[in-house]
Amino acid sequence: MKKVRVIYSGRVQGVGFRFTTVHLAKEFKITGWVRNLPNGSVEVVAEGDNKSLTQFLNSLEDRMSGYIQAKDILWSEGKKEFDTFNIRF
């Protein structure tokens, strides 16, 4: 079980980024959350097995590549903190 925290910057708000993230998380059976940050970036915190997380992030970045300019990623050990994947406001 792994946990990843990613901050995506660019034109990532107002383009369906959070809804795409939720859809993909369900597809890859990932738990966690996504939220917009006040500075215009988007934060994703997700848990799952290493393979599923990698596929989830690759899929998200492929779909949203036209909007992402940079990302800051931090991997750690998962703690099974989440039951679902949702949008935080």
Catalytic residues: 18, 36
Tell me, yes or no, whether 88 lies in a domain.
Answer: no
Q: State the SS3 of the chain.
A: CEEEEEEEEECCCCCCHHHHHHHHHHHCCCEEEEEECCCCCEEEEEEECHHHHHHHHHHHHHHCCCCEEEEEEEEEECCCCCCCEEECC
In a domain, 22, yes or no: yes
**Strand-strand pairing, 85-87 and 68-77:** unpaired
**What per-residue confidence (pLDDT) applies to 51?**
97
Residue 84 lies in a domain: no
CA 27-29-34 angle, to 5 degrees, is: 85
Identify the CATH number of the domain in which residue 45 sits: 3.30.70.100
Overall pTM surpassing 0.95 (yes/no): yes
85, part of any domain: no
Residue 44 lies in a domain: yes
Write out pLDDT tens, residues 20-72: 999 999 999 999 999 999 999 999 999 999 999 999 999 999 999 999 999 99
Residue 42 lies in a domain: yes
Q: Is the dihedral of CA 78, 79, 83, 85 positive or negative?
A: negative
Domain membership of residue 9 as a residue range: 2-76
In a domain, 59, yes or no: yes
Domain count, the chain: 1
The answer to the question of residue 29 being in a domain is yes
